[in-house]
Amino acid sequence: MEGEYASQQYGLNFDFKAFIFRVISYWKWFILATLIGIYVVYQQNIRREFPYTLSASISIQDDKNPLFTSSTNLIFNYGGISGKIQDVLLNLKSRKHHEQVVDSLNLCLNYLKDGRFRKQNVYKGTPFTFVGDETAFQVIGHPIKIKLLDEERFELSYDFGEAQQVSVQNFKTKEIKRVPVPASVFSQVFKFDEYINLDVFKGSLVTVTGARIVPDQEFYIQYNSFNGTVSQFMGQFSVVSEGGSLVVLRLTHGNKAQIVDYLNASVFILDRDLLHRKNQYAINAVNFIDKQLARVRAELGEKADSLNNFKQQTKIYDIQNESSTLTKKIEAYDVEKQSLEESLLYYDLLKNYLETSKDFTNFPAPAVQGIGDGNITTAISKIIDLSGEKSKLEYSVRSDAAVFDDLNRKIEGLKQVIYESISANKANIRFQIQTINRNVAALEREFSTLPENQQKLMGIEREYLLSQNTYNLYLAKRGEADLVKASNTSDIILIEPAKDIGQGRNVVNLNIRYVFAVIAAFIPVILIAFIITFFDRKIHEPTDLEGLNKIPLLGVVGRSETDTNLVVLKKSNAPVAEAFRAIRTSLQFIYKKQEVPGAKTVLLTSSISGEGKTFCSINIASVFALSGKKTVLVGLDLRKPKIFDDFEIKNDVGAVNYLIGQASLKDIVQETGVDHLDVITSGPVPPNPSELLIGDYMHDLITDLKTQYDYIILDTPPVGLVSDALELMPYVDATLYVVRQDYTKKDMLKQINDKYKKGEVKNISLLYNFYGQKSKYGYGYGYGYGYGYHGEDSKKRSWFGKLKKRFKD
């Protein structure tokens, strides 16, 4: 109990009861905040534009080309169907893919019209289209108004407000810059198909075939930035794999026609890119072979020209029979040499593929045809495995993760092994070709016995045939590569294209927002009430005094409705006057209990100025005087005199003059015009008020007053500011410590309470002043002090006065 009292005394507790009633007292603000919140939510709800969500579904297949066999150019798929699905998902989620879709549909260009709350997207809903100049910069973020006048003319206008510069973008190069505008407001009439050449808008409006032109109809053309448009669609786009090989693409947007086009274009671009990637080997092979064909074609032309020139010069057009045997041997060597050179071509194709390709998940067999080196085929298998692992990780791991660096290093290491093996095998093949060349040279020496012209002819014909065979070889390989490219099919099968079949909007029940609006209105009210209660250190109810100190409560004085302190004298029937009569009775009980003989004294003080100490002193003195007792009110607040104004008397001479020996008691006592009530004002403000109050003259003053009056009321300074009142307490029989509602702070009672507990002050009671009929906490005081406070004032008050008082309370 003592610990609880201490915590309350020093302000460490939180008054939950006060908090609850304070929240209840704010009901008007809660209702106002609720109404505002509901209105805001209503306005948001009616402006909410619900989008559509459409989908398209595709299947990922493992298509193999039936034209190829393992002995020719069969394309192997080492990645499997799961690897392809991951590859498709990564492609569909990539920004590059969405940039291609936005570019292909020109979605940066928007057609709008005025709606109820906003401009609405009317994609493919206008009787015209705008053909923008691809090389020009177009204004972005600002709508261009188009007002149709007739079938041939329209009015173009814009209003950029106060802007002196606008942002423009070239949608071919994607460059953005800021340019000044000569005039922020513009309007001009143009014809359809006429080129519009403005600083920030270039192009022409073309009517749609069959569309009806309605005069005075208004539309808007607005370019948005390319990156912003791509980001918008990426945020609304989703793609999921729904088991097996099925992949579903979904887009949520406000215009169904735009959704349909976007999804179908997305599938088309994905199919095109994957097929192009699938044909990449054939494309690389064709490019490589074309370079070789050009070289061999030039050599073949030179050999043919040499052969024809020699025959014309020598008139020799055939070879003698005796050279047929040697010729057959040489031709056999040539065939073997051609086979070796074909092997060199295969190695070159493999090296070219490794150098130009980035993904080896689907490794084509043409790249390894004719290669029997086990080290190369083993390394290729490992590269395919690593590429498949990398493709799977790209679906779930960030692209800058360390694991990708490790996989890339391993792939590069295997490629280096293959390059070394290719170099070694090519060196071996070249050595075999050199051997064949030496054998051919030996056979050619046998021709030395033949006529010289015949030997030259045979040599020229052999070189020509060799070049022709090489050229035929390259032509055959190019045909095979073209066949691979032409016969490949995409792994993407469109199961269900996106289309408008009357789907409704994604309607969401927004009524829950009203619940949140009520909660949002309640939270600040509670928060404000909590903060105010937590930091509020003032006394608001008489019951607050119970937990703050042990000093008893003598009485409660209601709130005065008059402009004067003389409530008891001016309105004796008022509730406040009745409260002071109750205090008089309580004081008489204290005097009787203490068995005080003769004159009785009472001292009134408070914590600080403004708590109603003087008001209470005047009215307590008044009730004693009205009871027929000779009473004197002594103003001892020497620093701040007050009493004289209320009784309309002067403060020229007072207690100060007596305390310094300048005047007698008779000189300082002034009549008030009220029977049995005299007043002693404080007099002029002295330089040493504390010394005067503790001097010997103070004792003489009290003694003299007791010989002439029945009741002596002392109005003293606040103890929270000076200690004068504490020095006067030994002279009095009772002390009243005034506490004012909603004004006195709890911590202010600590000083007087400590002195009371230590026994330094005795016979002290609390006087609760300015008590309202109902406090801001919403509950009344139930100890019998209130009397209801319904006197003549409340009965006579008009309805306006009652309303004013209620708001004031």
Q: When comparing pLDDT for 779 and 648, which is higher? A: 648
Strand partners, 165: 180
Confidence of residue 10 (pLDDT cuts 50, 70, 90): very low
- Average pLDDT in the 496-525 region? 84
Confidence of residue 67 (pLDDT cuts 50, 70, 90): very low
Q: When comparing pLDDT for 610 and 465, which is higher? A: 610
Indicate whether 771 pLDDT > 80: yes
> According to the model, what pLDDT value does residue 435 have?
87
Confidence of residue 783 (pLDDT cuts 50, 70, 90): very low
Q: When comparing pLDDT for 720 and 623, which is higher? A: 623
Beta-sheet strands, E only, within 122-236: 128-132, 138-139, 144-148, 153-159, 165-170, 175-180, 185-191, 196-197, 202-207, 218-223
- The number of C-alpha atoms within 13 Å of 107 and in the hemisphere containing its C-beta is 28
> According to the model, what pLDDT value does residue 626 have?
93
pLDDT, one tens digit per residue, over 473-506 is 777 777 766 666 666 667 788 888 988 888 887 7
Cβ atoms of 553 and 542 within 8 Å: the answer is: yes
Residue type, 443: L
What separation in angstroms does the CA of 604 have from each of 147, 316, 541, 584, 744? Answer: 85, 152, 20, 13, 15
> According to the model, what pLDDT value does residue 4 have?
43
Cβ-Cβ contacts under 8 Å for 168 (sequence gap 6 or more)? 137, 138, 139, 140, 176, 177, 178, 179, 200
Query: In terms of DSSP H, where are the helices of 246-279?
Result: 256-278
Please tell me the distance from the alpha carbon of residue 536 to that of residue 374, in angstroms, as a whole number: 89
Task: Look up tokens 């016995």; give the residue.
Answer: 449
> According to the model, what pLDDT value does residue 578 have?
92
Confidence of residue 100 (pLDDT cuts 50, 70, 90): very high
Indicate whether 709 pLDDT > 90: yes
- Average pLDDT in the 591-617 region? 91
Please tell me the distance from the alpha carbon of residue 761 to that of residue 732, in angstroms, as a whole number: 11
Residue type, 351: K
Q: When comparing pLDDT for 190 and 521, which is higher? A: 190
Task: Retrieve residue 224's tokens.
Answer: 């948005």
Q: What is the DSSP string of 355-369?
A: HH-S--SS-BGGGTT
Please tell me the distance from the alpha carbon of residue 344 to that of residue 541, in angstroms, as a whole number: 106
Strand partners, 291: none
> According to the model, what pLDDT value does residue 280 have?
65
Phi, psi (deg, nearest 5) at residue 770:
65, 40
Lowest mean pLDDT: which of 61-75, 234-248, 273-287, 734-748?
Answer: 61-75
In terms of DSSP bridges, do strands 764-771 and 553-558 run parallel, antiparallel, or are they unpaired?
parallel
Cβ atoms of 162 and 136 within 8 Å: the answer is: no
Please tell me the distance from the alpha carbon of residue 323 to that of residue 122, in angstroms, as a whole number: 86
Name all domains of the chain by residue range, CATH numbers in brackets.
2-48+510-535 (no CATH), 54-106+240-279+488-504 (3.30.70), 109-224 (no CATH), 287-487 (no CATH), 542-808 (3.40.50.300)
**Burial (CB count within 10 angstroms: exposed 0-12, middle 13-18, buried 19+), residue 427:** exposed
Cβ atoms of 681 and 670 within 8 Å: the answer is: yes
- Average pLDDT in the 150-169 region? 90
Please tell me the distance from the alpha carbon of residue 186 to that of residue 163, in angstroms, as a whole number: 13
Strand partners, 496: 57
DSSP tag of 778: S
Q: At what angle do helices 256-278 and 80-93 cross, to 10 degrees?
A: 130
H-helix or E-strand spanning residue 736: strand 734-740
Q: How many angstroms separate the first and last alpha carbons of the chain? A: 34
Strand partners, 54: 251
Indicate whether 357 pLDDT > 80: no
Cβ atoms of 140 and 167 within 8 Å: the answer is: yes
3-state helix, strand, coil in the chain (%, to 5): 50, 15, 30
Cβ atoms of 514 and 38 within 8 Å: the answer is: yes
Q: How many CB atoms lie within 10 A of CB 716?
A: 26
Indicate whether 139 pLDDT > 90: yes
> According to the model, what pLDDT value does residue 75 have?
36
Indicate whether 312 pLDDT > 70: no
Indicate whether 105 pLDDT > 60: yes
Phi, psi (deg, nearest 5) at residue 166:
-135, 160
- Average pLDDT in the 634-643 region? 86
Please tell me the distance from the alpha carbon of residue 676 to that of residue 661, in angstroms, as a whole number: 26
Confidence of residue 773 (pLDDT cuts 50, 70, 90): low
Tell me, rounded to whole angstroms, the distance of Cα 336 from its chain centroid: 74
> According to the model, what pLDDT value does residue 461 have?
66
- Give all strands of the β-sheet with 128-132 in edge-to-edge order: 128-132, 202-207, 196-197
Task: Retrieve residue 809's tokens.
Answer: 């309370």
Q: What is the DSSP string of 561-622?
A: -SSSS-HHHH-TTSHHHHHHHHHHHHHHHHHHHHT--SSEEEEEEESSTTSSHHHHHHHHHH
Cβ-Cβ contacts under 8 Å for 773 (sequence gap 6 or more)? 558, 559, 780, 786, 788, 789, 809
- Average pLDDT in the 559-580 region? 86
In terms of DSSP bridges, do strands 677-680 and 670-671 run parallel, antiparallel, or are they unpaired?
antiparallel
Residue of 292, 306, 296, 280 whose CA lies nearest to 361: 280
Confidence of residue 136 (pLDDT cuts 50, 70, 90): very high
Lowest mean pLDDT: which of 267-271, 544-548, 736-740?
Answer: 544-548
- Average pLDDT in the 109-118 region? 89
pLDDT, one tens digit per residue, over 375-431 is 788 888 888 778 777 776 765 666 666 777 788 888 888 888 888 888 888 888 888
Residue type, 584: R
Please tell me the distance from the alpha carbon of residue 370 to that of residue 345, in angstroms, as a whole number: 9
> According to the model, what pLDDT value does residue 604 have?
94
Long-range CB pairs of 175-178 (<8 Å, 24+ gap) are 175/137, 176/140, 176/225, 177/137
Residue type, 338: Q
Indicate whether 774 pLDDT > 70: no
pTM here is: 0.53
Confidence of residue 11 (pLDDT cuts 50, 70, 90): very low
> According to the model, what pLDDT value does residue 396 have?
61
> According to the model, what pLDDT value does residue 66 have?
45
- Average pLDDT in the 192-220 region? 92
- Average pLDDT in the 588-615 region? 91
Indicate whether 295 pLDDT > 80: no
Lowest mean pLDDT: which of 68-82, 247-261, 323-337, 669-683?
Answer: 68-82
- Average pLDDT in the 578-596 region? 92
At 447, is the secondary structure helix, strand, or coil?
helix
Cβ-Cβ contacts under 8 Å for 308 (sequence gap 6 or more)? none
Calculate the average pLDDT of the chain.
80
Residue type, 120: Q
**Burial (CB count within 10 angstroms: exposed 0-12, middle 13-18, buried 19+), residue 760:** exposed
Query: In terms of DSSP H, where are the helices of 15-94?
Result: 16-25, 27-47, 80-93
Share of the chain above pLDDT 90, in %: 31
Please tell me the distance from the alpha carbon of residue 527 to that of residue 522, in angstroms, as a whole number: 9
Q: When comparing pLDDT for 115 and 487, which is higher? A: 115
pLDDT, one tens digit per residue, over 671-707 is 998 999 999 999 998 888 888 888 888 889 999 999 9
Please tell me the distance from the alpha carbon of residue 127 to that of residue 214, in angstroms, as a whole number: 9
